[in-house]
Amino acid sequence: MKEKILNHYMMTINFVTSFHDISNQQWRTPIEKDKWTIAEVISHLTHWDLFILEKRIPYLWSSDPLPKAGSVEDMNHYAASLARQQSKETTIYEYIKTRNQLYKSVHEISASNWEVDFHIGTTKLNVYKYLNDLAEHDSHHLEQIKQFLALSK
């Protein structure tokens, strides 16, 4: 379980690192009609990683309730807006830095805590299910980017 998640994080870091080699036009073009650009997707993923690092992992085994998430739309809008202002290098750097922090935090989770249940609202999860769902979210976006890049060569 843990290795699957950690391997996913390393794969995503390597994939996003490869974006240094794409053109600015590819970086700033929507990946599909009415969709985000690669820049906006990567910023979106970074901000979700920050949320997990700051508002989820520290509270999973605490008696304190999980902090409220706030508006998903507001967070996504902020991430996309930030990506439009930042350089490609900054967005990639922030993603890699944050994903490495998440890797380290997840690596430090003891084996006994991977199947401990917790609640987000009325939804009951364990760490593996939660992180695996987020990895699937990553994979969805990264597959969209792969398809876009294959078509834009």
- pLDDT tens digit string along 112-128? 888 888 878 788 889 99
pLDDT in tens, 50-85: 999 999 998 887 777 778 777 888 888 999 999 999
Residue 76 pLDDT: 86
Query: What was the pLDDT predicted at 39?
Result: 97
Give residues with Cβ within 8 angstroms of 109, minimum separation 6: 2, 57, 127
Q: What's 67's DSSP letter?
A: P
Are 109 and 9 a contacting pair, CB within 8 Å?
A: no
**Residue 64 falls in which region: left (phi positive, over 0), alpha (psi -120 to 50) or beta:** beta
Sign of torsion over alpha carbons 45, 41, 79, 125: negative
Q: Residue 108 gets which letter from DSSP?
A: T
Q: Which CATH architecture has domain 2-151?
A: Up-down Bundle (1.20)
Model-level pTM? 0.92
Residues 34-43: what's their mean pLDDT? Answer: 96
pLDDT of residue 94: 97
